[in-house]
Amino acid sequence: MLALGIDPGTAICGYGVVEMKGDVLRPVFYGSILTDKDWKPEERLRRIHQDISDIVGHFHPDFMSIEKLYFNRNVNTAIPVAQARGVVLLAAAETNLPILEFTPMQIKKSVTGTGAAEKKQVIFMVQRLLGIREKIEPDDTADALAAAICGLNQARILQMQTKSGARIGEILEAQKNPLSKR
């Protein structure tokens, strides 16, 4: 199973493609899309959309795992994140890529065992789970890899619950339509 994890952002958008075979996780491709603060907003969003579309087209993941929008007190940072998230979701929708969404707390808990984990704990566990020795920079890349790991863990649970080898997209579609046959 192959997951594309995303940590959305306009200045930095982290991505990570992770493969799970049995209980083994393997990093396939990861990094961050950096946009220049001097670019027009639409140029930044176009760049993010194009790069994510290219990754989806090249690797053909089974699903996208993305962090849900988290609002803190600063609306000025929430709006650009929401815009970046929108173009990332569009890239997934253009290829009918299933989307799994998780809160930051769910992602942290999936990777570290606690939803209250600090950033350095998440990075440490991502490196350990994926066997990455070099420092993962920027943090957005580690967050995207963590989102992919969280999604893979959830997808495996969904497959076990349905006792099928069905692709995650088929399982999610069946859950949307309870009358469909599994």
Q: Running DSSP on this structure, what letter comes out for residue 172?
A: H
For the chain, give the longest Cα–Cα distance.
52
Cα separation, 78 vs 74, in Å, equals 7
Strands (E) located in 22-112: 24-34, 63-67, 99-102
Q: Is 140 a catalytic residue?
A: yes
Query: 3-class DSSP state for residue 46?
Result: helix
Single-letter residue type at 81: V
Q: Is 7 a catalytic residue?
A: yes
Of 72, 63, 79, 58, nearest in space to 9 by CA: 79
Question: Which of 7, 19, 51, 143 does the annotation list as catalytic?
Answer: 7
Contact 47, 54 (CB under 8 A): no
Cα separation, 142 vs 119, in Å, equals 9
Q: Is 67 a catalytic residue?
A: yes
Question: Which of 19, 51, 62, 140 does the annotation list as catalytic?
Answer: 140
Question: Which of 51, 62, 67, 143 does the annotation list as catalytic?
Answer: 67
Contact 1, 140 (CB under 8 A): no
**Catalytic residue positions, numbered:** 7, 67, 140
